[in-house]
Structure 1
Amino acid sequence: MSVGTERVEWPGAGSDVLLERATRLLEAGGRRHLLGIAGAPASGKSTLAAELVAELGGSHPGRVALLGMDAFHLAQVILDRRGQAEIKGAPVTFDAVGYLRLLERITGTDETVYAPVFDRGIEDSIAHAVEITPQTSLIITEGNYLLLDDEPWRQVRRALDEAWFIELDEAVRQQRLLQRHLSFGHEPGEARERTYGSDQRNAELINAKLLTPDVWIKHVS
């Protein structure tokens, strides 16, 4: 982490810092701006992104949108055909180039752009579910690999105007991830295997190959 990285705690005093930084991007003018939030599974990325969108959407109606990297999961039928179902969530199970090209398209035009959303209930994506209108000036995107030091993810990092990394105590993060899997109907054994198996390997990869974030967020549970 470079000396230029700002460290904050969230929730708490750091919340105002994060909101101020996001607001500056939203009000910067010119082309649309991209704010990315990265972190290991269940670290709090989605929660923070949703809170920012709700806060900014209240003060700047119609000018902020939420885009999840998870919407670029390869479909289950493709993972099954490739024999990659057991590693779903690993970098190779995403259409990273498709995600990158969408980010580039969003900032390269002021026309309406439609984007997919990931539905955890069906563990698959729904096309054209996010509408980014000409009035949208800030897109907040979140996902595991936005700061992964590997191609083509490095290009994703370069496409972002700001990238934040969120860290949560490991034991707390694992417990939250386990509960998430259980809440979506996975059997206890399968939920534990996912949490401490493939998901844990992905978390370790994220931490081991991390590009420098603009903000390092300590998630205080």
Structure 2
Amino acid sequence: MQILDEAVVDRAVALAGRADRVVLGIAGEPGAGKTTLTTALIEALTARRVPVAWLPMDGFHLGDGSLDALGLRAHKGAIETFDGWGYLAALRRVLAEPGHPVYIPGFERTLEQPIAADRVIPPGPALILTEGNYLLDEEEPWSLVREVAAEIWYADVPGELRRDRLVARHVAFGKSRDAAEAWVAQVDEPNAERIRARRMHADLIVPIGA
């Protein structure tokens, strides 16, 4: 599957040339292919010898203990179930502290839990790719990501394909098909509507096909 055309890669290369550290955000609805787009960019940029690092938003999911305390476990994935301020602080750190490693949390999909210090942004120049659902949201702290990111792109995919991917993902990680379809309808789709409403604010729309 062809994810990127050369013009998209050229644009990322140009962004990387602006400074030693530059943040490029990848937004999109659940199941839109944000990670697919990010990994394709990493491969293309590495082939062009552009230093690149990856800071996914998923590591800033609240753990189940916090979700239970807040009464939000049944809404995991909604905007209020992320540590948005912590995510913003991590983005600011990678720009402000290029001389040493910055450790960031990852997300274990089998456990559906964040893992502390599971990833690292190494010292030195890099285009920092960060992908997540709410990078274009107008609510603080998400609106402040605009102050950190040079650009925010939007991974765009046909709705039916996106929903099919989501159901398949939930089934792959342990839900029954009925439970997966219910979760997509009741949790993922309301989140997708919120994200899609901000689509026009992206600097670039990147179509992700079948």
TM normalised by structure 2 equals 0.93
3-state SS in 1 of match to 2:5: helix
RMSD: 1.7
Matched, 1:26 2:19: no
The superposition leaves residues 27-60 of structure 1 with CA deviations (integer Å, 9 ceiling, x where unpaired) of: 3334x10000000000010000011112222332
CA contact (8 A) 1:147 1:211 kept: no
Residue of structure 2 in register with 1:89 after alignment: 77
- Give the superposition deviation at 1:150: 1.5
Q: Partners of 1:126 and 1:55 in 2: how far apart?
A: 28
Residue of structure 2 in register with 1:101 after alignment: 89
* Match of residue 193, structure 1, among 182, 193, 201: 182
CA contact (8 A) 2:154 2:199 kept: no
Q: Partners of 2:85 and 2:142 in 1: how far apart?
A: 8
Residue of structure 1 in register with 2:61 after alignment: 73
- Give the superposition deviation at 1:210: 4.4
3-state SS in 2 of match to 1:197: helix
Q: Partners of 1:172 and 1:103 in 2: how far apart?
A: 31
- Give the superposition deviation at 1:135: 2.2
1:1-221 aligned within 5 A = 11=2, 15-30=5-20, 32-60=21-49, 63-111=51-99, 112-210=101-199, 212-221=201-210
- Give the superposition deviation at 1:157: 2.3
Identity %: 38
The one-letter amino acid of 1:97's match is W
The superposition leaves residues 100-153 of structure 1 with CA deviations (integer Å, 9 ceiling, x where unpaired) of: 011011111212211111111111112222221222411100000001122111
CA contact (8 A) 1:148 1:210 kept: no
CA contact (8 A) 1:40 1:203 kept: yes
Q: Partners of 1:182 and 1:201 in 2: how far apart?
A: 20
TM normalised by structure 1 equals 0.89
Q: Partners of 1:38 and 1:129 in 2: how far apart?
A: 22
5+ residue gaps, structure 2, are none
Structure 1 stretches of at least 4 aligned residues deviating more than 4 Å after TM superposition:
none
CA contact (8 A) 2:104 2:117 kept: yes
- Give the superposition deviation at 1:194: 1.1
Q: Partners of 1:161 and 1:56 in 2: how far apart?
A: 17
5+ residue gaps, structure 1, are 1-9
The alpha-carbon distance between structure 1 residues 150 and 211, as it changes in their structure 2 partners (threshold 3 A), is farther
Aligned residues: 209
Q: Partners of 2:199 and 2:146 in 1: how far apart?
A: 11
